[in-house]
Amino acid sequence: MTALWGGRFTGGPAQALQQLNDSIGFDWRLAPYDIRASQAHARVLHRARLLTDAELTELLGALDALADDIATGVFQPQTGDEDVHTALERGLVERLGTLGGKLRAGRSRNDQVATDLRLYARDAAASLTAKLTELVEALADQAEKHLHDPAPGMTHLQHAQPVTLGHQLLAHAQGLLRDLDRLADWDRRAAVCPLGSGALSGSSLPLDPEAVAEELGFTTSAPNSIDAVADRDFAVELAFVCAQIGLHLSRLGEEFILWSSQEFGWVTVDDAFSTGSSIMPQKKNPDVAELARGKSGRLVGNLNSLVTALKGLPFAYNKDLQEDKEPLFDSLDNLELLLPAVTGMVATATFHPDVPRQAAPKGFSLATEIADWLVRKGIPFRTAHEVAGACVAECESHGIELHELSDEQLVGLSEHLDASVREVLTVDGALAARTTPGSTGPQAVRHQLETVRATVENLRKVTIPSQ
């Protein structure tokens, strides 16, 4: 029997319990982190004079060899290994005999798994940060190509006002930049080391949690041993960030689905990031965008699963906490798959700027320009809004566009109107007039692009270090 418990039991667990209880099927990925934590713990035991110099050397060597065997697949979990900790202790005992059991002193699986999961999560967050940064750069590169290209800006999926295509693309980049900021902020709270908390009460052995924390790349050790083994805030927060990233990718995917349709025709998704139909030879489907949209529900579901598992949970450790890993692992795994594909789709897409340019003035999207023109002449916006609306109604009744209204029609609609209003009834003029920070004017978008690139560069300097 390789279990880490059982001294007070007269028999082994029932098969049904073992199948329910074992977590080795999904927590084995924590093995490299458990070994790193074990090496740090061995050094602390040595400084506490609980291991001799020779024993420390043997243990560290065996841990290094075990890590190599795990990486190459030579060492694998086997039947009877309840979890990753059980399997690794078995590996040490097989190599070192009774010395392999000395490493368990002063720690519990409760603080071990909390430490391993934090180490894993920080590594995963660093990888997410790198991949998100690549997507922001792909959006910025496409935006730079289309800084001056107009497109219909929409609300309620109806033409609203002209915007530039670059502005629309950078709108997606802004959400992802907030996600990057969330990851960096999350790491500040996640960089707390639980190892040394034991099962819940710390240890009577002369350990040094701060030294362990420093060696493992954490900022500090846990200030409360009960909270340290019970806390899964870091997992919930990271699952939330994953869900938020998923929502942003879903919205980007939806736009690419619309833009690549025959009805829009704004963009062609590259063949490398499209699929076909098994029955209709002409089909070219935006599956990357659709999977981005579809997986967002899965990411939100994982967050909900984790939050629900933690609701009302008493201190300190409870077996319910075994349910923290699979939702978090699934979210991280899916984003690792999804982000490179979405980045590739964006980076290789071919936009057709003439199509959105022609569509930009349709749907009377320049009506607000008439209202603003009147406001600049001192007319209250309430009145200006009514006049612009009357212009739209006149156009609809005659099947014409705003710039096609005759001088007589303009004067007849309002005493405040005359032919000079036509100077604002062009898409390029409307865009050029948008000069306020954050607006869609070409110069404002150029400034936004420069800010996005500078933000990415700054994030690189303070990025989460890979563990």
Q: Is 398 a catalytic residue?
A: no
- The dihedrals phi and psi of 337, each to the nearest 5 degrees, come to -75, -40
Separation CA 1–CA 168 (nearest Å): 61
Tens of pLDDT, residues 125-146: 999 999 999 999 999 999 999 9
> pTM value?
0.93
Which pLDDT belongs to residue 136?
98
Taking each continuous run of H as one helix and of E as one strand, the counts in the chain are 18, 6
| Percent of the chain with pLDDT strictly greater than 70 | 97
Mean pLDDT, residues 37-59 taken together: 97
CB 326 within 8 A of CB 26: yes
Catalytic residue chosen out of the listed positions 201, 261, 277, 406: 277
Checking if the pLDDT of 326 tops 70, the result is: yes
Q: Quick: pLDDT tens for 333-389.
A: 999 999 999 999 999 999 999 999 999 999 999 999 999 999 999 999 999 999 999
* pLDDT tens-digit map of 199-231: 999 999 999 999 999 999 999 999 999 999 999
**How far is it, in rounded angstroms, from Cα 201 to Cα 6?**
21
Q: Examine the pLDDT at 32 and tell me if it is beyond 70.
A: yes
Q: Does domain 15-105 have CATH number 1.10.275.10?
A: yes
181 Cα distance to chain centroid: 10
Per-residue pLDDT for 67 more than 80? yes
The answer for residues whose C-beta is within 8 angstroms of residue 8's C-beta and 6 or more apart is none
Listed by start position, the domains of the chain span 15-105, 110-358+447-461, 367-425
Instruction: Please determine, for residue 458, whether its predicted confidence score (pLDDT) is greater than 90.
Output: no
Q: What integer is the mean pLDDT of 237-255?
A: 98
Quickly name the fold that domain 110-358+447-461 has. Answer: Fumarase C; Chain A, domain 2 (1.20.200)
Active site (annotated) includes residue 277: yes
Give me the pLDDT at residue 462, please: 63
- Strand residues in 289-361 grouped as ranges (E): 350-351
**Average pLDDT value over all residues in the chain:** 94
- The 3-state DSSP class for residue 322 equals helix
**∠147-153-156 over CA atoms, to 5°?**
155
Please report the pLDDT score of residue 467 as a whole number: 46
* CB distance 226 to 318 below 8 Å: no
- Distance between CA 361 and CA 369 in Å, rounded? 11
pLDDT at 463: 54
pLDDT of residue 216: 97
For the domain 367-425, what is the CATH superfamily, name and number?
Answer: Fumarase/aspartase (C-terminal domain) (1.10.40.30)
First to last CA, the chain: 33
Asked if residue 144 lies in contact with residue 449, where contact means CB atoms within 8 angstroms, the answer is yes
Q: What is the mean pLDDT of residues 260-284?
A: 95
Strand ranges (E), 189-339: 192-193, 220-221, 267-268
**Nearest 5 degrees, angle CA 285-CA 290-CA 296?**
170
Q: How far is Cα 152 from Cα 363, in angstroms, rounded to an integer? A: 9
